[in-house]
Structure 1
């Protein structure tokens, strides 16, 4: 452990990056090493963690399709039975696996909150149940206009029943939903011709873009970074800012205007004081 140097770790990270490893892979590898060395510090095998100050490469975010309120409505309207899935994802920001794992007991209809306790993923055709990403439970609000549709979905179900179940029962699998339902609806709105070329300017969102849409709609509605972080279940506000930096207004003009107002107020106060002193002297 004592032979591990910060410069060597930084060179290792650079080598991973140069040989084609993606940023998330490097983040995970560096995170594991950081935890191992943190235990060594805790056991007093080494005085400090040599990973301190070493950063993984910045992630390159692919182009996202942020849908507007109108586009969310248009997409939902062509999906019939699964319209609620689209609206729920677009207005809560849940990951698909979190949504698919929701049970009746997870909803507080009076407070309009849904408690995220579990997530279900599909790997090689097999379902795996786990805690949410980052292993943190969270409570997410949902808008009032979804209440009636959610209540209808839960009618006649027990507390442990899935809310968003497949037509034949069981988990609404992401692979099936994406190919047979979501992508078909998007293609319909894009108006593909015989050659597969779009005839409209409707965007081509992925299923995960509904989560990005939720962030976009929340930010445009005035939500601050901490609120968006909590809604999306990000590990930190820094991650939220890094992911959606292009959506948060920089407000630089507002800062400059505030400086002007403060200086003008100071000058006015000084002028008033001078006039008062002059009057007293007279």
Structure 2
């Protein structure tokens, strides 16, 4: 039930009862505004998108903390990243704003402001994703009829060209890495993420089957190393190239199964930042590969696998991607040669079929010789 009445002071009072029987009222200086408000409320009730206005008064900051606290299963690295994005980008702008006051125009203005301040496109998009997840959680909780940040125009990422090394370049880099030669070769020829390599234990190296069992990954959260599952939460088995078996045999000999395969000079976890400062960046310069990053050795592994004849499904399993579609999204350019090969095979088949057809057609014009009657 809804009604509009004019008070003695000339103000229009609009009121209605929600589906739960609770009364709500607002006051307007014009009757047309009061009627518009009631029409909007009635529309949400009819379409089933009505939410109690009191529930949407909670601030983005408070609801964001509730949302994060409710995700106990998040990996420590993911939780740390979400907390950082909330602290640095979401709470300064939206912390005291009620969730119902968020709108697309203000969200897009916030995105533009972050870009103006020089944030990387990836960071801007990640901040938006966290805000959107917070608001989507409010929708599921019945506090909002829809996600008010949905449909915002996001800045486009311009990924730089991926860098793939040849076998010769990998060997130059590995040689320049000195005592960490095998670390470079493992990254370039197995496609492991650095955190997966740093978490690899002696007992998960099977030299007889030539397999690595990838079950852990290590990341840094607030300066501390944290062990967890690999990025996709799935174990996988990665082949060991024959060329690395003898070197690995020397590394694992006489060591306990639970020991880390590779460690820092002090015997601790091999951290990517320290590894770059102490070994990798210098080795890259010495090998004539300035600016190279350890992650580009993972790209190199994909490239070398494809050039050796691996199909997209095999590359997906090697790298531990969640799907073959993801592998194609990341490395679609590597499979262009496959298209050329397909075209060549289609050509060959068409030529053979045409030749067979012509031979058959010509053969049909030949009149068989019958023996003479006696």
Q: Does TM-score exceed 0.5, indicating one fold?
A: yes
In the TM superposition, 1:130-279 aligns within 5 A as 130-190=228-288, 202-279=289-366
Displacement of 1:251 in angstroms is 4.4
Structure 1's 137 and 54: CA in aligned 2 closer, same or farther, altered over 3 A?
farther
Local SS of the residue matching 2:237: strand
Question: Hey, what does 1:195 align to over in structure 2?
Answer: none
Tell me if the contact between 2:201 and 2:257 (Cα under 8 Å) persists in the aligned partners. Answer: yes
Q: Is the 8 A contact 2:162 2:299 kept in 1?
A: yes
The match for 1:96 is 194
1:48-80 Cα deviation digits (max 9, x unpaired): xxxxx9998875322333221111111111222
- CA deviation string 1:61-104 (max 9, x = no partner): 22333221111111111222111111111111101110000111
Q: 1:216 to 1:100 in 2, by over 3 A?
A: same
What does the per-residue CA deviation read over 1:191-237, in whole Å, with 9 as the maximum and x for residues that have no partner?
A: xxxxxxxxxxx443112111111111112212111111111111111
Which residue does the alignment assign to 1:22? Answer: 121
SS at match of 2:260: coil
8 Å CA contact retained: 1:65, 1:204: no
For 2:174, the equivalent position in structure 1 comes to: 76
Check whether the contact 1:13–1:56 (CA below 8 A) recurs between aligned residues: no
- C-alpha spacing 1:148/1:58, structure 2 compared with 1 (3 Å): farther
Alignment pair present for 1:126 and 2:126: no
Q: CA deviation at 1:17?
A: 6.6
Whether 1:106 aligns to 2:204 is yes
Once the two structures are TM-superposed, the CA of residue 267 in structure 1 deviates from its matched residue by 3.3
Map of 1:50 onto structure 2:
none
Distance 1:185 1:240, change over 3 A: same
Relative contact order (C-alpha < 8 Å, sep 6+): which is higher?
1
**1:129 match: secondary structure:** strand
Residues 264 and 64 of structure 1, relative CA distance in 2, 3 Å threshold = closer
In 2, the alpha carbon distance for the partners of 1:144 and 1:267 equals 45
In structure 2, list runs of 5 or more residues that go unmatched: 1-47, 51-102, 146-150, 370-374
Moved more, 116-125 or 10-19: 10-19
| TM-score, normalised via structure 1 length | 0.76
Structure 1, unaligned runs of 5 or more: 4-8, 47-52, 191-201
Structure 1 residue 264 displacement after superposition:
3.4
Q: What TM-score, normalized to structure 2?
A: 0.59
CA–CA distance in structure 2, aligned partners of residues 230 and 185 of structure 1: 29
Distance in 1 between residues matched to 2:312 and 2:279, nearest whole Å: 33
Q: Deviations over 1:225-274 (max 9, x none)?
A: 11111111111112111212222224454444444434433433333333
Cα contact 1:17–1:23 (8 A) shared by 2 = no
